[in-house]
Structure 1
Amino acid sequence: MDEEEVATQGELAITRTGDRLRLAREAAGLSLADVATRTRITQRHLAALEKSDFSELPGRTYVTGFARAYARAVDLPEAEIGASVRQELEDDDYGARPAYEAYEPTDPARLPTPRLVWTVVIVAALLASAYGVWRFLSVEPDEALIAAQNRDADASEAPAAAPSVEKAAAPNGANVAPDAPVVLTGLSEVWIGFDDAEGKTENWRTLDPGETYEVPPAYIEQFTLRTSIPQALKVTVGGRDVGAIGPADTLVKGVSLKPADLLTRSGGSASGDAAGTQRRPG
C-alpha cells in the first residue's frame, strides 16, 4: 500500500466535525484549556464538541455557535464547520426516527380493558406535564422558547420611558468609579452571552454554581449582557450586589455592563436596594 492510499484512508476515517476540530487543535499544539481561554467555552463543552456528543452541550440551539467559535480559535473555516455541524444534527435527528413496522390486525378479545386504557392515558398525561416543567426549568431553553422570549423582551422595551428612568436614577450611581470591577457569579448553572452593538452574540460561556467571572474592561465598553435565567445570576459592582437584572425564567438582553448603569437598575445604594425589595410582590 503506497503513501497516497494510506493518506486517503486516513482522511476517510475522519467522519465527524469533532475529529477535524480536535486534529486542528493538536496540530496547533493547543490544549483544551488553551481553546477554552480563547473561546470562553468550558472544557467539558469543548470535549463534547470533539466527540460530536451534542447531547452534552447546554442546548442544541447553541451547538453551531460553539463549533464556529472553536473553529476560529484553531484557524479552521468557521462557515464550513458550522454547516457540517448543522448537517450532523439533521442526520442525528433522522437516525433517531423510529422505523415503520407493519402490524397485523389484533384479535378484539385481546384488546386492553377501558380501565387499563384510561390508566395509560392518565400516566402519559402526567409524564408529559412533568417533562414540560423540566424543560421550562432547564438551564438552556430550546429554539421555540428562545424565540418567544425574544419577542417578549422586544415587546417589553419602552424607549420613550427610558430617559426619565435613567434621569431619576443617575444621581445614585454618579459617584461610582468608572473602573469598578463588574463580577458575575452563578447561583446555579447559568448560560450568559455578550452582545455587540448590533445585538449579535459574539461570546458565550456557562457559569457553574459558585463560579465567578470578572467581566473584562473591554467587554464592559463593547458589549451588553444577556441570559435566560436571571435569578441564577448574581451581579456585583465593586462588591455591591445590584439585585435581579430581570424577571425569573425570562430571557433578558441588552443589559449595560457599565458600573453606573448597573447600579441605577437597583438605585445604586442600600436604600435603593430596599426599595427594590419592596416593589417585588410577596
Structure 2
Amino acid sequence: MADEENTDDGTLPLDTAGVLLRRAREDAKLSIEQVSAETRITQRHLRLIEAGDFDGLPGRTYAIGFSRSYAKAVGLDDRKIATLVRAELAESGYDDRGNADGFEPGDPARIPTRGLAWLSALAAILLIAGGLAYFRDYFFPASGPGPLVAEAPVSEPTASQVAGAAVPDSTPGGGEVIFTALEDGIWVKFYDAQGNRLMEKQMALDESFTVPPDAEGPQIWTARPDALAITVGGQAVPKLAEELQTLRDVPVSAEALLARADPAAQSPQSPEPLTDT
C-alpha cells in the first residue's frame, strides 16, 4: 500500500538521474574526487546531483549542465540524463532563481584556470618586449655597439667536405618519456600492460612524471590530455590531444609517442595523412 501511495502522489521512481549517475560511477570504480577532477565540478555539487538535491545548485541551467558533464564522465547518455533532470525539476516544483547577470554556464572544464591566465599575461608581455626589440634594431640598425673582433671571411666548403658531412636524424630513436602538467590539479593515472599502477594523482602546475624505462607497455588514463606536455629523450612531441576528452589505455612508450608524433615516417610516399585508430 505504501508503494501505491508513493506512485499516486507523484513521488519520483527510485532510478532518478542522481541514482543512475552514482551507479555508473561506482561501476566504473571512480571516486567523487576523480569525477570532480575530470569534470571540474566541485565535489559538493556532484554529491547534491547524486542525492537529487537540485535546490543546492545555483540554478536550473547549472543543474542540467553539470548533470550532463557528469554523465559524459561516467559513460552515460548525457541527453537522457538531461531529460530526467528536467522531469525531476518540473515534478518537484523547482524554483529556478536564475542568474542576475545573465551568465549561462558552459562546460566547467573550459573555464581558464588562474595559472593559465598568468601564463597568457606573461606570454603577452614577452611578445610586446620582443616586438620592441625587433623594431628598435630595424629602425636604428647602427645604434648598437660594433663588433669587437673583425669577422673572418667565410670560405666555401669543398666537395669532399659536403660529401663527407653526416646528415643528422631529427627523430630520436627512443629515450626518457616525461609528462609535465601545464595546469594545476590535472588528474592522471599511469599503469603498465598488466594493469599495475605506476602513478595516480592530481598533478600540480609544472609537476613532471618520468615513465619508468623498464615499464612493460606503459599506458595513460586522463581527461585532460590537452594540459600535459610530453618530451621523449629531451625532445618535445605533440600532446595526446589538443582539447578536453577522456583518454584511457593509450600507450605512452617512447616508440608509441614518436609514432604518433610523425605518422608520415611510416609511409613517406603516401599522400593521405595517417590517423590513430
TM range (shorter): 0.3 to 0.5
| Structure with max Cα Rg | 2
Point out the structure with the larger helix share. Answer: 1
Q: TM-score normalized by structure 1?
A: 0.36
